[in-house]
Chain A
Amino acid sequence: MSAVLLARIQFALTIGFHFIFPPLTIGMSWLLFIMMNMYKRTGKAIYRTMTRFWLKLFAISFAIGVATGIVMEFQFGMNWSEYSRFVGDIFGAPLAAEALLAFFLESTFMGVMLFGWNRLSTRVMWFASLMVAVGSTLSAFWIIVANSWMQTPAGYHLNNGRAELTNFFHAVFNPSTLPRYLHTVDAAIMTGAFFMVGISAWFMLHKQHQEFTRRSMKLSLLVALLSTVLALPLGHLQAITVAKHQPEKLAAMEGLFESGPRAPLLVFGIPNPTAKKVHLAITLPGALSWIAFGDAEHYVKGLDAYPQSEWPPIFLTFFPFHIMVGLWSYLLALTLVGGTLYLLKRLESSAWFLNLALFSIPLPFIANELGWITAEVGRQPWIVYRLMKTRDAVSISVPAYQILFSIMVFTIVYTLLFALWIHLLRKKVRTGPEYGPDQKELEVKA
């Protein structure tokens, strides 16, 4: 296999694994802040118990996120040195800003949150939980700035054989930054909320820690509902950004081979890139034109408007996108049913729903991965859209066998880390929340 292909496989593997964790911890950091805020406001010990329990699950996930995150920062130089030379003038800045503005906040106040109980005041702990949430949300901002610049480069000119900055503000707020940021953060909040809904459901099924569980479920179900509903307009905003700025990607996402007015939206279909058509297609004529451009008559460029050598891989763009949307629909239904059961006060007795919620924990994670695959594969064959091809970006001095070796080690180590993560999460959940000396009555009931 060529070094380029191996470097791509390694990048996909390491980012794919890393990306399990940040969305979860970004989402959970805000839920933790809400719990901490309730504790500060009401002084009720149950909120402290909640914060400390969910904090434990958060900390395990955060640790793996940190450990696998170092890889990402090093990897641009290690495997993609030609890319790094070409974009360093622009791309390095958001990475440095991420460390300066976000990682320090997150990690320092994470230490305070984990080790500050019993020695720091509630107000300081509240502030620390806010800083962890702000820090992790800011880190998402800077990394999405960096990635969005690869999707829709702006604020640069080509000089000295590389992209050089001409306007920092335009580079940071390039056309896709904000839509992609909002979409990603909302997905992160969904991930955290469904994680908490699912684990609360497990406690409900086992009728354990009822006071703790009811409050956790109420909070997380509400957040899950709001963030899932919000994903519709935010996802739409991103889709119209793609339609406007990366039309080949939109065409691949939608399996649109032919340009034309009244572009159809596929309800179902299997694209065939060789025959350049969609099999078993069920379409809504004009719906794609209308969704993407607000006008059913709008002319939409299909893949035929571009040379085939510049098409993204169709399957790996089309299916991840559609499965992601499918998962979203399911999660929306889940929260609506859950919300209804809650209002009818039948949530705790509906074992079927609780089981469903428990087994749905992985789905937002999968949707996150699929969304990223759509975004990244849909940009191919470019590493920087219309500026640099992926095949020209790889390190010259790194031989293929070394990348193969590191892929093998990464695979083993990451498999172990994943098993360890699941094992420790299960252990923490089985141990359950812990109560302070001021909550004797809850401990007995639990």
Chain B
Amino acid sequence: MSFLQVMWFLLIGVLLTIYAILDGYDLGIGIWHLSTKKEKHRKTMLALLGPVWDGNEVWLLTGGGAIFAAFPEVYATVFSGFYLPLFIVIMALIARAVAIEFRNQHEHAVWRKVWDVAFASGSIVPSILFGVAVGNLMTGIPLDHAGTFIGSIFTLLNPYSLVIGLLSFAMFATHGAIYVAARTHDELKDKAIQWAKTSWFAYLNVFMVVTIYTMTSQPRLIDNYLRIPVLTGVPFLTFISLVAIYAFLKRRELTAAFITSAVTIAGIMAIFGVSMFPTIVQARDSGNSLTIYNASSSALTLQTMLILAILVVPVVIGYTLWSHRQFWRHSPDEGY
């Protein structure tokens, strides 16, 4: 049983990491969308995600479904506890989806302006709120003994969580800018490299702030590293990878920079996983925390779904890679 619970902790981590890497560049492109005034650039940037954003977003749905199936107590507690922030995320994702699909249906300037704003805010808002949500799971929220959230919306807006929100924002902004730089040419490419460098500085700084902040104020989150010192390699390697992004950017090796950025995202997710394990939702009163042991589904459900996931996820990754290659090969400048 505990093997299955650990497996599901890992698997959900993998699903959400893939989501952060793939939809991360969609969100990042949205963050920068209003930073260029040129219609041609905006069109190109939208064309970059046209064929793939929907598939990328499905990783979030899969992650959500997997949490529901494997850790229903977590799903119930977090989704009801974070009601308003999640509602805002939903609205943002709706705005983004509709903006991507509908912006180019009319030439009209006002029409386009409205959708440009919808696309940008629909990307910026989730980029921050995802981090804030994770920050709250880490720093702890007020839960009663039945796992019901007993705080308010203001409980969720604590300094630690807001800093994690900044981290996720900088992370997605850098990732998206690198993606644009890697796939476009000329003026837009130069511009995107500049964006990437700017946000990278913020990314690095916030990363260091978070590290120090966590070590000084969240002793519980460093327990696992003290117990198994070799795990400190995870944040250390992530830091190296984060620094390497800049080295590649400087040498304009953009595919390498993008891969390094993806590795950094995976590293940050891994840091989160190592810090939390086996807790998923930290409660202010630690006895009420939701862990992989007290919040999971039955062994039969975990086992059945694990078999399904092992059979299906590789196939999904296979055709997702195939589709991304089809579109990566062609510059969006050729027109869709």
Using CB atoms and an 8 Å cutoff, list the residues of chain A in contact with chain B: 59-60, 63-64, 66-71, 73-74, 76-79, 81-82, 84-85, 87-93, 95-101, 103-105, 107-112, 114-116, 119-120, 159, 162, 164-166, 168, 395-398, 402, 405-406, 409, 413, 417, 420, 424, 427
In the complex, what's the smallest C-beta–C-beta distance from A82 to chain B, in angstroms? Answer: 7
Q: Which residues of B contact A74 (CB under 8 A)?
A: 64, 79, 86, 90
Q: Which residues of B contact A90 (CB under 8 A)?
A: 301
Q: Which residues of B contact A71 (CB under 8 A)?
A: 90, 94
Q: Given contacts A63-B98, A99-B62, A115-B336, is CB(A166)–CB(B84) below 8 Å?
A: no
Give the one of A63, A77, A405 with max B CB within 10 A. Answer: A77
Q: How far is the CA of A409 from the CA of B83 in the complex (A)?
A: 14
Give the one of B64, B67, B101, B298 with max A CB within 10 A. Answer: B298
Q: How far is the CA of A95 from the CA of B61 in the complex (A)?
A: 9
Stretch at the interface among B179-187, B276-284, B318-326: B318-326
In the complex, what's the smallest C-beta–C-beta distance from A406 to chain B, in angstroms? Answer: 5
* In the A-B complex, the 8 residue pairs with the closest CB atoms: A88-B72, A77-B79, A92-B69, A92-B68, A96-B65, A111-B51, A81-B80, A395-B80
Determine if A88 and B73 form an interchain contact, defined as CB atoms under 8 angstroms apart. yes
Q: Which residues of A contact B58 (CB under 8 A)?
A: 99, 103-104, 107
Q: Given contacts A96-B68, A104-B58, A107-B55, is CB(A402)–CB(B84) below 8 Å?
A: yes
Determine if A397 and B81 form an interchain contact, defined as CB atoms under 8 angstroms apart. yes
A sample of 6 inter-chain contacts (CB < 8 A) reads: A76-B68, A84-B68, A88-B72, A91-B68, A103-B62, A104-B58
The listed residue (B316, B327, B336) touching A100 by CB distance below 8 A is B316
Stretch at the interface among B197-205, B247-255, B306-314: B306-314
The reply to whether the CB of B75 lies closer than 8 angstroms to some CB of chain A is yes
Q: Which residues of B contact A95 (CB under 8 A)?
A: 64-65, 68-69
Determine if A77 and B76 form an interchain contact, defined as CB atoms under 8 angstroms apart. yes
Determine if A108 and B319 form an interchain contact, defined as CB atoms under 8 angstroms apart. yes
In the complex, what's the smallest C-beta–C-beta distance from A427 to chain B, in angstroms? Answer: 7
In the complex, what's the smallest C-beta–C-beta distance from A60 to chain B, in angstroms? Answer: 7
> Closest chain A residue to B69 by CB distance?
A92
The reply to whether the CB of B105 lies closer than 8 angstroms to some CB of chain A is yes
Determine if B76 and A427 form an interchain contact, defined as CB atoms under 8 angstroms apart. no
In the complex, what's the smallest C-beta–C-beta distance from A32 to chain B, in angstroms? Answer: 17
Q: Which residues of B contact A109 (CB under 8 A)?
A: 323
Determine if B50 and A98 form an interchain contact, defined as CB atoms under 8 angstroms apart. no
In the complex, what's the smallest C-beta–C-beta distance from B34 to chain A, in angstroms? Answer: 21
Determine if A397 and B80 form an interchain contact, defined as CB atoms under 8 angstroms apart. yes
Q: How far is the CA of A424 from the CA of B80 in the complex (A)?
A: 35
Q: How far is the CA of A98 from the CA of B177 in the complex (A)?
A: 32
Q: How far is the CA of A82 from the CA of B60 in the complex (A)?
A: 23
The reply to whether the CB of B168 lies closer than 8 angstroms to some CB of chain A is no
Q: Which residues of A contact B57 (CB under 8 A)?
A: 66, 70, 107
- List residues 78-100 of chain B with CB under 8 A from any CB of chain A: 78-81, 83-84, 86-87, 90-91, 93-94, 97-98, 100
Determine if B55 and A119 form an interchain contact, defined as CB atoms under 8 angstroms apart. no
Q: Which residues of B contact A409 (CB under 8 A)?
A: 87, 91
The reply to whether the CB of B288 lies closer than 8 angstroms to some CB of chain A is no
Determine if B148 and A112 form an interchain contact, defined as CB atoms under 8 angstroms apart. no
Q: Which residues of B contact A396 (CB under 8 A)?
A: 80, 148
The listed residue (B75, B93, B105) touching A84 by CB distance below 8 A is B75
Q: How far is the CA of A68 from the CA of B91 in the complex (A)?
A: 9
Prevailing SS type, chain A contact patch = helix
Determine if B76 and A82 form an interchain contact, defined as CB atoms under 8 angstroms apart. yes
Determine if A73 and B94 form an interchain contact, defined as CB atoms under 8 angstroms apart. no
Q: Which residues of A contact B97 (CB under 8 A)?
A: 63, 66-67
Q: How far is the CA of A101 from the CA of B66 in the complex (A)?
A: 13
The listed residue (A64, A92, A107, A427) touching B65 by CB distance below 8 A is A92
The reply to whether the CB of B70 lies closer than 8 angstroms to some CB of chain A is yes
Q: Given contacts A67-B93, A89-B72, A115-B51, is CB(A81)–CB(B84) below 8 Å?
A: no
Determine if A78 and B80 form an interchain contact, defined as CB atoms under 8 angstroms apart. yes
Having A78-B79, A420-B102, one finds 12 other A-B pairs with CB under 8 Å, namely: A67-B94, A74-B64, A77-B75, A85-B76, A92-B72, A108-B319, A108-B323, A111-B323, A112-B51, A114-B50, A116-B326, A402-B83
> Closest chain A residue to B60 by CB distance?
A70
> Closest chain B residue to A59 by CB distance?
B101
Q: How far is the CA of A333 from the CA of B78 in the complex (A)?
A: 51
In the complex, what's the smallest C-beta–C-beta distance from B189 to chain A, in angstroms? Answer: 21
Give the one of A78, A85, A88, A406 with max B CB within 10 A. Answer: A88
The listed residue (A88, A89, A100, A116) touching B312 by CB distance below 8 A is A100
> Closest chain A residue to B64 by CB distance?
A73
Determine if A119 and B330 form an interchain contact, defined as CB atoms under 8 angstroms apart. yes
> Closest chain B residue to A172 by CB distance?
B304
Determine if A99 and B65 form an interchain contact, defined as CB atoms under 8 angstroms apart. yes
The reply to whether the CB of B117 lies closer than 8 angstroms to some CB of chain A is no
Q: How far is the CA of A409 from the CA of B57 in the complex (A)?
A: 23
Give the one of B57, B79, B300, B326 with max A CB within 10 A. Answer: B79
Determine if B105 and A427 form an interchain contact, defined as CB atoms under 8 angstroms apart. yes
Determine if B76 and A84 form an interchain contact, defined as CB atoms under 8 angstroms apart. yes
Q: How far is the CA of A175 from the CA of B323 in the complex (A)?
A: 39
Determine if A93 and B55 form an interchain contact, defined as CB atoms under 8 angstroms apart. no
Q: Which residues of A contact B150 (CB under 8 A)?
A: 397
Q: Which residues of B contact A100 (CB under 8 A)?
A: 62, 65, 308-309, 312-313, 316
> Closest chain A residue to B309 by CB distance?
A100
- List residues 36-65 of chain B with CB under 8 A from any CB of chain A: 50-52, 54-55, 57-58, 60-62, 64-65
Q: How far is the CA of A119 from the CA of B51 in the complex (A)?
A: 13
The reply to whether the CB of B297 lies closer than 8 angstroms to some CB of chain A is yes
Determine if A66 and B50 form an interchain contact, defined as CB atoms under 8 angstroms apart. no
The reply to whether the CB of B149 lies closer than 8 angstroms to some CB of chain A is yes
Determine if A164 and B61 form an interchain contact, defined as CB atoms under 8 angstroms apart. no
The listed residue (A59, A79, A105, A168) touching B304 by CB distance below 8 A is A168
In the complex, what's the smallest C-beta–C-beta distance from A392 to chain B, in angstroms? Answer: 13
Q: Which residues of A contact B320 (CB under 8 A)?
A: 104, 108
The reply to whether the CB of B77 lies closer than 8 angstroms to some CB of chain A is yes
The listed residue (B80, B147, B301, B316) touching A165 by CB distance below 8 A is B301
Q: Which residues of A contact B316 (CB under 8 A)?
A: 100, 104
Q: Given contacts A110-B54, A115-B336, A427-B105, is CB(A85)–CB(B72) below 8 Å?
A: yes
The reply to whether the CB of B305 lies closer than 8 angstroms to some CB of chain A is yes
In the complex, what's the smallest C-beta–C-beta distance from B132 to chain A, in angstroms? Answer: 16
Q: How far is the CA of A105 from the CA of B62 in the complex (A)?
A: 13
Determine if A111 and B54 form an interchain contact, defined as CB atoms under 8 angstroms apart. yes
